[in-house]
Amino acid sequence: MSSVSENIAAGTKRKRNGEPKFYAVKIGFQPGIYNHWNECLAQVTGFKGAVFQSFPSREEADAFLTGNRAPSPQDGSASACTKFYGIQKGRVPGVYTDWAKAQDQVRGFRGPRYRKFSTREAAEAFVRNGQTPSNKDSLPGAPGLMEGNPKDNAGDEYAAGTGPLPPGAEDGFDPNILLDPTTGKIVYKTPEQKQERKIQPKPSGPPGMLKIYTDGSALRNGTSQARAGVGVYFGPDDESRNVSEPLAGSRQTNQRAELTAISRALDIAPKHRDVTIFTDSKYSIDCVTVWCINWQRNNWVTSTQKPVENKDLIQAILSKIEERKSLKVKTLFEWVKGHNKDAGNEAADRLAVNGANMEDVKTEELSESAESAKNRSTAKS
């Protein structure tokens, strides 16, 4: 029985009907004097080293708080609650002091992450940041490996595979057991087996900056017969990701083609890779790096109080940049002079011109093409 439970029991025995009690919390979440036991309990449960006691008079409780009276052996203390279960990924993440309640948060939950700690601080750090401070009950290696085998409340060892999952076990798998190939039965691993390590591949280091060239082309730009195309160039040996397609929609302009090419490049580029997009469109670069700052502040109205042109494409690009930024991935832009014998720019230009000459396709078909290219990029990254 924990010290908190013992004080509940002791307080129940001593309290007489109609006799008021004052609960003094000297060390807890919020020290002070409380008139109700439940209020006191809320300040000490789960607080390491909590000190509290009940008194028949407020004067005695005040003296206890101000230090004029030393705590007696009967003083309450929550320090006996030394096990804290941090649920990092489960139904309701948080820190629990009751294993049964902690189990309720992870049992049947796909891919739970949880561990047992000896201090609340360590459990909170695990829940908050995914940190895993050392724990003497666990072994290095696979999460959830334990020094001994689990036992029930009577001290008897559970049969292998029937006990509760150990804190830290991932995906509902207990790393302390295995299937005996000779008997076909589940058995506990030996200490030697628990110490074994899988050979881990040597990290190859972070991938370098991915360079992508984009371009847009509009034949008969500015006329009702304009036809625009989009070009995205990843490289000469990257045909599965290079893009050459007509611009979707009724507004066939060079600016929309340039912006669409950038958007398509961000769709296809792996989200874990830093990218630099090379384009000969200063307009596109300024839209998504400079002008957008004031446009967002002014509710997408220009300095002349006109709606921002191509707002839909600009917002889509900004959203993709923000998503990559949240993943701590860089998205950089670099202007290159068009038609100046830059191999990447010329390749993107050819792709864009070819796209403008293609027969018109529906937006839905382009979306399917984008999804297909994204899948190829993921496999290639």
For 84-195, CATH number out of 3.30.1370.60, 3.40.970.10, 1.10.760.10, 3.30.930.10 equals 3.40.970.10
Domain boundaries, the chain: 3-80, 84-195, 210-380
DSSP 118: S
**Alpha carbons 252 and 258: distance in angstroms, whole number:** 11
What is the pLDDT of the chain when averaged over all its residues? Answer: 78
Residue 142 or residue 147, greater confidence:
147
**Domain 210-380: top CATH class:** alpha beta
pTM above 0.75, yes or no: no
- Please say whether the dihedral angle defined by the alpha carbons of residues 364, 369, 372 and 378, taken in this order, is positive or negative: negative
In the beta sheet, which residues pair with residue 276?
211, 332
DSSP 5-52: HHHHHHHHHHPPTT---EEEEEESSS-EEESSHHHHHHHHTT-TT-EE
Q: Are 204 and 192 in contact (CB under 8 A)?
A: no
- Residue 249 · residue 256 · CB < 8 Å: yes
For residue 15, the model assigns a pLDDT of 44
pLDDT, one tens digit per residue, over 275-318 is 999 999 999 999 999 999 999 999 999 989 999 999 999 999 99
Distance between CA atoms of residues 118 and 120, nearest Å: 7
pLDDT value, residue 72: 47
- In the chain, % of residues over pLDDT 90: 35
Sequence-distant (6+) residues with CB within 8 A of 232 are 212, 213, 214, 241, 242, 243, 261, 264, 265, 268, 348, 351
153 falls in which pLDDT band (50, 70, 90)? low
- What are the tens digits of pLDDT across the range 183-194? 777 888 887 777
Angle at 288 between CA 287 and CA 290, to 5 degrees: 70
Rounded CA-CA distance 53/10 in Å is 11
pLDDT band of residue 257 (cuts 50, 70, 90) is very high
* Partners of 334 in the β-ladder: 278
Comparing 179 with 67, which gets the higher pLDDT?
179
Distances (CA, A) of 324 to 270, 319, 329, 358: 10, 9, 5, 32
Pairing of strands 275-279, 331-335: parallel
For residue 365 the two structure tokens come to: 């078909």
What's the DSSP call for residue 301? B
Fold equal for 84-195 and 210-380: no
pLDDT above 90 (res 252)? yes
Q: Express each pLDDT in 3-37 by its tens digit.
A: 444 344 344 434 444 567 888 888 888 888 998 88
Give Rg (Cα) of the chain. Answer: 33
Residue labelled with tokens 């990254």: 381
Which of 249, 139, 237, 267 minimizes the C-alpha distance to 195?
Answer: 139
Q: How far is CA 98 from CA 29, 116, 130, 151, 211, in A?
A: 19, 11, 21, 16, 52
Phi, psi of 355 (to 5 degrees): -65, -40
**For residue 254, what pLDDT is reported?**
96
Please state the three-class secondary structure of 302-338 as a single string.
CCCCCECCCHHHHHHHHHHHHHHHHCCCCEEEEECCC
Provide the 3-class DSSP secondary structure of residue 274.
Answer: coil
- CATH fold of 3-80, please? Ribonuclease HI; Chain A (3.40.970)
Run of H or E including 94: strand 94-96
CB-count burial class (<10 Å; 0-12, 13-18, 19+) for 291: middle
Digit-coded pLDDT (tens) for 82-141: 578 888 888 888 888 888 888 888 887 777 888 888 777 777 777 876 544 444 444 445
C-beta separation of 111 from 125 below 8 A: no
The helix or strand, by DSSP H or E, that contains position 348, with its residue range, turns out to be helix 343-356
> Which amino acid type is present at position 131?
Q
Place of tokens 């050392």: 134
CA atoms within 13 A on the CB side of 157: 7
